[in-house]
Structure 1
Amino acid sequence: MHTAVGLIVEYNPFHNGHLWHLTEAKRIAGAEFAIAIMSGNFLQRGEPAIVDKWSRAAMAVTAGVDLVIELPTVFAVRSAQYFATGGIQLLSRLGMVSHICFGAESADLAALTAAARALSASTTGSTIRQKMKTGRTYAASLALTLAETTGIDPGVIHSPNNILAIEYLRAIFTCAPQLIPLVIERCAANYHDTVITSTIASATAIRAAIAQNSLLLPDSSAWQSLPAATAAQINALIATGRAPVTFDAFSNIVLAKLRTMQLNELAALPDVTEGLHNKISDSARKASTLQELLSFIKSKRYPLTRLQRMMIHALLGTTKTTLAGFDQAGPLYARILAFNQNGRRLLRVIDRYSTVPVITKTARFLTSKQQQNNELTRLQDMLAYDIKATDIYVLGQPNCQWRAGGQDYQTSPHYLAN
């Protein structure tokens, strides 16, 4: 069987740091191939991707990823624990991935593993919840709890990539013990950097440059922080009005949705607790923009990313009950977004060993007529949320000619022939 290293990614967009991580992952894993499990059109931080999922997958394959598979939306737009678990489960269910490689601010796998095991202890969850009741965020409560119980430096926990790394390890313990974890230390840029200072920059800073809605110039710092092919692809999307897609473009849609939801519907949204639905309802009527709405609701208890995920769940119609059912089932399909010649070889192997079906044509598993009724299988229901996510996402594209629905039925995976 071929050896493949798995990557759980967002590639928003694919930049030089991702290219370095890809190269290192294959090297230290000794793997022939790389398979990326990638978020679709909405991301873990509760934001729309700056360019669509097929374009981001094509950028990744052009840069050397062999196969890009979509992480279902119901796992992609989630907190670190569920995002990581969904990605690990999907990699495991492909039946032929040997390693999982992820980036972190701390490359100390022993420390991250100790933190993961401590977090999985039966009493840790209740301790974290008690600390959150004092107004601390989940990340701060987690860091303090682990510092108290294991002596782990709180700084190891506070960065988003370290938190994800710990959750990947927890998921491996419970869902995929056959996967060998590998960690690579992030280099050059910090996660939240907003300025590009070298050829390896944060995705945050790169998105800020792209969001100016002007073409990237070859001598600009943004262009230099991207593989040349990626920069050219982004320019083509900007030129045709398919990018950039920003959260502000959904301002009126989000406000309209929240203003028409009943209080019980708001209370059913994932992550909404402790009467927050009342505050969301009141704030949605007072706010005139999405950013103003978020500023009204944001607090230490409810950081921005958590609130943004609530907004996406409101648009998609997902509820606590819905997600609980999907979490119990795990990802039920491997939906292909892009592949190269090596990826084509991998697909033949995956067809033999995968415990979930491979989807290259959506209509073979779900038709638009089926989507409109309420008698869907669990797989079809999960897939329907991916389709709904795209139908909403395209409304944020700058040029209205690209906003028609049903693109998941019409778009084939991107194939790179050479």
Structure 2
Amino acid sequence: MQAVGIVVEYNPFHNGHAYHLEQAKKAAQADLVIAVMSGTFLQRGEPAMVDKWTRTKMALSGGVDIVIELPYVYSTAPATDFAKGAISLLSAVGCNSFAFGSEDGSIQPFLNTFELIDSHRAEYDLFIKDSLKTGASYPKSLHYAYEQLSQMYPAPYIDLAQPNNILGFHYLEAARALNSNIKPLTIPRVAAGYHDALKEDASIASATGIRKALASTNSLQSVQNVVPTATFDYLTDWHTKYNQFASWETFWPLLQFTIIRHTPSELTRYAEVTEGIENAIVKAAKNSSTFYSFMEKIKSKRYTWTRLQRMITHIYTGFTKKQLQSFNAPSFIRLLGMSSTGQAYLGQQKKNIELPLISRVAATNDAMLAIDIHSAELYNLSIEQGTKDFTLPKDYQTPPIRC
């Protein structure tokens, strides 16, 4: 059986994702689709709007055959490590190819871009260093270095100012670094840009646009046209139970407490917290009534909003620099859900899968998995605050979802 892999967050699963699934399967001529999906906290440093089990159900309803979890160590990492973790898992589970959505929509410019940077690494690194000296952020310095190189060696390249192109480039980079035979494919994004707001009468919108619409209108009907029926039903069920979707704004009381209970120097233990920002974080937390006002106080030219959110995520979950440095690669494959086709594939490929396949975590002693379980418990705690019943699935008790 031929499997195509995709890297997803499904926050939430929408009509654009359904299109991507269909096109990926067709382009790869695959028998099934395997999705590696972020767990409870995401790459932009924020909690997923609904938990991983609900998003797994959305994925399976939408046509994914196997859902595996991207561990916290990688799901909350900068793009390079995020891609490394995801492609490692897709390769280990036996995918013949992987497909990603991009603004460019053609694979050759990605290959050209990879060869450009790989062949001129010393010049690229020097341009980055020069830009950083001016006070520019690291992402802006990367873009500056790329622009300089692409002008020196003209060819059809991708636009690395576009978020999905950036991730696509890092997926290619990861596959090459792993010496993997997994074949890259890209599917053009349709109708909605990454940050576009929801448009009236649209049938496709970005996940960001959907979340913004829900936050501003508090009406599920505002997004009904841009998500599959199953997604709408799962979102409705979640909102009925908890009366809110997860966000740093809803987590703010516990996040604020977590920050304030530390001294500034203690904060520097946590992953991605660089010296110099810790005092500002504690001061802002003491003087902010909302997460947004807190972020407005600490953002600067040096630190992007996303980078700050990842720092905050690690402070909230207690994920330290020492822990981060102890991991080099994924050590397991965590199965979250599967269709009958997915189950047949796993039965067929069982002996060829390169990492331990975990379906139940209770008997598993793995440091990376322990972090996933811990982060899920903290996520659940924030959602269930103020409710009478603890109804969110617990990792120790939840088997893979079958459909």
Q: Please give the TM-score of this superposition, normalised by the length of structure 2.
A: 0.92
Q: Identify the match of residue 400 of structure 1 among 372, 387, 392.
A: 387
Paired position in structure 2 for 1:357 = 356
Paired position in structure 2 for 1:189 = 192
Superposed, 1:74-89 pairs within 5 Å as 74-89=73-88
Paired position in structure 2 for 1:413 = 400
Q: C-alpha separation between the residues in 2 aligned to 1:216 and 1:228?
A: 12
CA-to-aligned-CA distance 1:359-384 (integer Å, 9 cap, x gap): 11110204xxxxxxxxxxxxx11111
**More divergent stretch after superposition (233-242 vs 68-77):** 233-242
Q: Are the equivalent residues in 2 in contact too, given 1:132–1:138 (CA < 8 A)?
A: yes
Q: Are the equivalent residues in 2 in contact too, given 1:6–1:100 (CA < 8 A)?
A: yes
Query: 3-state SS of the aligned residue for 1:195?
Result: coil
Q: Identify the match of residue 216 of structure 1 among 217, 220, 232.
A: 220
Superposed, 1:320-399 pairs within 5 Å as 320-326=321-327, 328=328, 330-366=329-365, 380-397=366-383
**More divergent stretch after superposition (262-271 vs 248-257):** 262-271
Q: Identify the match of residue 101 of structure 2 among 71, 95, 103.
A: 103
**2:185 matches 1:199:** no
Change (3 A) 1:209 1:341: same
Q: Identify the match of residue 166 of structure 1 among 166, 169, 182.
A: 169
Calculate the aligned-residue CA RMSD, in Å. 2.1
1:213 is displaced (CA, Å) by 8.0
**More divergent stretch after superposition (273-282 vs 139-148):** 273-282
CA-to-aligned-CA distance 1:152-187 (integer Å, 9 cap, x gap): 799801111111011111101101430100011111
Paired position in structure 2 for 1:62 = 61
Kindly provide the amino acid, as one letter, of the partner of residue 137 in structure 1.
S
Change (3 A) 1:314 1:28: same
Paired position in structure 1 for 2:295 = 294
Paired position in structure 2 for 1:138 = 138
1:114 is displaced (CA, Å) by 2.7
1:274 is displaced (CA, Å) by 4.8
1:104 is displaced (CA, Å) by 0.9
Q: C-alpha separation between the residues in 1 aligned to 2:240 and 2:393?
A: 23
Q: C-alpha separation between the residues in 2 aligned to 1:382 and 1:357?
A: 13
Q: C-alpha separation between the residues in 2 aligned to 1:382 and 1:127?
A: 35
Query: 3-state SS of the aligned residue for 2:399?
Result: coil
Identity of matched residues, % = 37
Q: Please give the TM-score of this superposition, normalised by the length of structure 1.
A: 0.89
**More divergent stretch after superposition (131-140 vs 223-232):** 131-140
Query: 3-state SS of the aligned residue for 1:85?
Result: helix
Change (3 A) 1:298 1:163: same
**More divergent stretch after superposition (36-45 vs 131-140):** 131-140
Query: 3-state SS of the aligned residue for 1:255?
Result: helix
**May I ask how many residue pairs the two structures share in their alignment?**
396
Kindly provide the amino acid, as one letter, of the partner of residue 3 in structure 1.
Q
Q: C-alpha separation between the residues in 1 aligned to 2:10 and 2:172?
A: 21
Kindly provide the amino acid, as one letter, of the partner of residue 111 in structure 1.
P
Q: Are the equivalent residues in 2 in contact too, given 1:335–1:360 (CA < 8 A)?
A: yes
Paired position in structure 2 for 1:375 = none
Kindly provide the amino acid, as one letter, of the partner of residue 190 in structure 1.
G
Q: C-alpha separation between the residues in 2 aligned to 1:351 and 1:126?
A: 46
Q: Are the equivalent residues in 1 in contact too, given 2:196–2:206 (CA < 8 A)?
A: yes
Kindly provide the amino acid, as one letter, of the partner of residue 145 in structure 1.
A
1:82 is displaced (CA, Å) by 0.8
Q: Which runs of 5 or more residues in structure 1 are unaligned? A: 367-379
Q: Which runs of 5 or more residues in structure 2 are unaligned? A: none
Q: C-alpha separation between the residues in 2 aligned to 1:363 and 1:48?
A: 24
CA-to-aligned-CA distance 1:37-68 (integer Å, 9 cap, x gap): 00001111111111110010111101110000
Q: Are the equivalent residues in 2 in contact too, given 1:146–1:154 (CA < 8 A)?
A: no
Q: C-alpha separation between the residues in 1 aligned to 2:260 and 2:369?
A: 27
Q: Are the equivalent residues in 2 in contact too, given 1:66–1:339 (CA < 8 A)?
A: yes
1:226 is displaced (CA, Å) by 0.6
Q: Are the equivalent residues in 2 in contact too, given 1:139–1:157 (CA < 8 A)?
A: no
CA-to-aligned-CA distance 1:128-160 (integer Å, 9 cap, x gap): 244134232333211210111133799801111
Change (3 A) 1:269 1:239: same
Kindly provide the amino acid, as one letter, of the partner of residue 197 in structure 2.
T
Kindly provide the amino acid, as one letter, of the partner of residue 252 in structure 2.
S
Change (3 A) 1:135 1:322: same
**More divergent stretch after superposition (55-64 vs 258-267):** 258-267
CA-to-aligned-CA distance 1:64-123 (integer Å, 9 cap, x gap): 1000000001100111111111000111111x2100100111123222223233444542
